[in-house]
Amino acid sequence: MPHVKQVQVTFDCADPRAVAQFWKAVLGYVDPPVPPGFDSWDAFDASLPAQRQGAAWACQDPDGVGPRLFFQRVPEAKTVKNRLHLDVRVGVGLTGDERVHALDAEATRLEALGARRVRLLLADEENESCLVMQDVEGNEFCLD
């Protein structure tokens, strides 16, 4: 049985670079190294056939711990709720008002990047509070 070494999360989107820029700012990720023979990702992108220019972008954890994120242009618009989403863990170990305050503070930072708040789910008998949000193209994610 093969041993999985890495996981990549792929986003379908209209503007891969814009969505990647958002997630880089959210997570502190960086662009991967520029391919050999190119001075920049812009130069690499310009070398592609016209129909492939701007069609993909990626970012990665600078420490190599988190999964690589890949963004690919697709022709169809987002129409339904995501079946998979990222949880951005900003309230680990916090409970009650302290947790809600941490979620709110991070949501405010992310709104300045283009995110949108959807709804706050307050703690119940089973789960701590979390805040459902959307990225710059409407992909849902949670602050938890």
Q: pLDDT tens digits, residue range 4-61?
A: 677 899 999 999 999 999 999 999 999 999 999 999 999 999 999 999 999 999 999 9
Cα separation, 73 vs 43, in Å, equals 19
Question: What distance in Å separates the CA atoms of residue 30 and residue 21, rounded to the nearest whole number?
Answer: 9
Provide the pairing of β-strand 140-143 with 130-134.
Answer: antiparallel
pLDDT of amino acid 128: 93
Kindly report the pTM of this predicted structure: 0.89
Which residue, among 106, 113, 112, has the nearest Cα to 132 in the 3D structure?
106
The pLDDT tens digits for 94-104 are 999 999 999 99
Structure confidence by residue, pLDDT tens digits, 61-74 = 999 999 999 999 99
CA–CA dist 95, 120 (Å, integer): 14
3-state secondary structure of 23: helix
pLDDT tens by residue, 79-115 = 888 888 999 999 999 999 999 999 999 999 999 999 9
Q: 70 exposed, middle or buried (CB, 10 Å; 0-12, 13-18, 19+)?
A: middle
Residue 1: its pLDDT value, please? 64
Q: What is the pLDDT of residue 18?
A: 97
Pairing of strands 130-134, 68-73: unpaired
- How far apart CA 4 and CA 72 sit, in angstroms, is 23
The two structure tokens encoding residue 51: 């129909």
Residue 63 φ then ψ, to 5°: -95, -5
User: Where does the chain hold its CATH 3.30.720 domain(s)?
Assistant: 8-73
CATH class, domain 8-73, is alpha beta
C-alpha distances out from residue 17 to 75, 92, 118, Å:
15, 30, 23
